[in-house]
Amino acid sequence: MELDPVSRLERDIVKAIRQAAKTGENEMRALCDSYYQMQRLRLACANQARALEETKAPHLVLDYLIAQSSILEQQLSRALAAYADSTIPGQWLLSVHGIGPVLAANFLAHLDITRANTAGAFWRFAGLDPSLVWGKGEKRPFNGALKVACWKAADSWVKNKGREECYYGHLYESRKAFEVARNEIGHYKAHAAAQLDKKRFGDDTKAKQFYLSGHLPPAHVDNIARRWTVKLFLAHLHHVMFEDHYKRPPPKPYIIDRDPKHTHVLGPPNWPMAEKEE
């Protein structure tokens, strides 16, 4: 039995995607969500097919769903790539090693430069501001999809840190070495004590032993390095979006404006963008 394939993405749909980039981001957010839903469906079907394969049971329909989901993912990725490529910030995102079309579209669809005068606004919206608190039953004060996109980007940079072209992977690696050294000399002693007060740990857990010794567990140190890298990336994205929208550089970071000892700013890579040929 031969099953009909999913139709390919037509040019008029790609044109509609480009138009959506100019008229609003609601559809883009929905398409980003749809991409991940289809990806989860494909992975679930693949797991089921493997289980059936082990028992020699037929799984023709599952194979069909896997193949069609894969095609749909590719087509959505193409559509989201067209969306990202239609803007200067999107082109910058696509130039960053480790940021593909889906992640680029996610950042563009969820971040509005007209509502963020500083990079700190991006950090808060992505859930990267440690001062954010909310009670039980209250709406979380950040965007969950954006926070997930940030950590997907961090994972990509960690996996590609050995590649010469992976700019943020190299920054993550050097920052982690810096944080490991600080942890070893007891820099996070107070933070470790606070973790013991805030959370419950089993007596036999390795994490508790680290905190009791006045140090952070390796996974905690790694998260600090990832968080620092993601925040720098969002600051760079804010710079690109601000300059593209307002045609002038963004406000200088707080510490640069007020402390003459700190004058070095790490600007966004690949910026300004080279003009694209028509």
Whether residue 81 is found in the same domain as residue 121: no
Q: Which of 24-38, 97-111, 139-153 has the lowest mean pLDDT?
A: 24-38
| Residue 7 banded pLDDT, cuts 50, 70, 90 | low
Backbone φ and ψ for 59, nearest 5 degrees, come out as -150, 45
Whether residue 123 is found in the same domain as residue 81: no
Q: Is 211 domain-assigned?
A: yes
Angle in degrees, CA 220, 154, 137, rounded to 5: 65
Whether residue 52 is found in the same domain as residue 130: no
pLDDT of residue 227: 95
pLDDT of residue 258: 53
Q: How many structural domains comprise the chain?
A: 2
Whether residue 70 is found in the same domain as residue 150: no
Distances in Å between the Cα of 37 and the Cα atoms of 34, 72, 153 are: 5, 11, 18
In the Cβ-directed half-sphere of 75, how many Cα atoms lie within 13 Å?
16
Angle in degrees, CA 36, 37, 40, rounded to 5: 85
When mean pLDDT is compared over 132-136, 195-199, 249-253, the highest value belongs to 195-199
Distance CA 73, CA 116 (A): 32
Q: Is 101 domain-assigned?
A: no
Q: Is 172 domain-assigned?
A: yes
Distance CA 59, CA 139 (A): 43
Q: What is the pTM of this model?
A: 0.85
Distance CA 187, CA 167 (A): 27
Q: Which of 86, 104, 133 is a domain's end point?
A: 86
pLDDT above 70 as % of the chain:
85
Over residues 109-118, the pLDDT tens digits come to: 999 999 999 9
Whether residue 82 is found in the same domain as residue 200: no
Q: Is 204 domain-assigned?
A: yes
Distances in Å between the Cα of 185 and the Cα atoms of 78, 84, 140 are: 48, 44, 35
Whether residue 170 is found in the same domain as residue 244: yes
Domain extent for 132: 115-278
Residue partners of 59: CB distance under 8 A and separation at least 6? 48, 49, 52, 53
What is the per-residue burial (b if ≥16 Cβ within 10 Å, else e) of 15-42?
eebeebbeeebebbbebbeebbebbebb
What is the per-residue burial (b if ≥16 Cβ within 10 Å, else e) of 164-200?
eebbbbbbbbebbeebeeebeeeebeeebeebeeeee
Q: Is 98 domain-assigned?
A: no
Is pLDDT of 13 > 70?
no
Is pLDDT of 3 > 60?
no
Q: Is 198 domain-assigned?
A: yes
Is pLDDT of 60 > 90?
no
Contact 123, 234 (CB under 8 A): yes
Distance CA 216, CA 222 (A): 10
208 CA to centre of own chain: 29
pLDDT of residue 63: 86
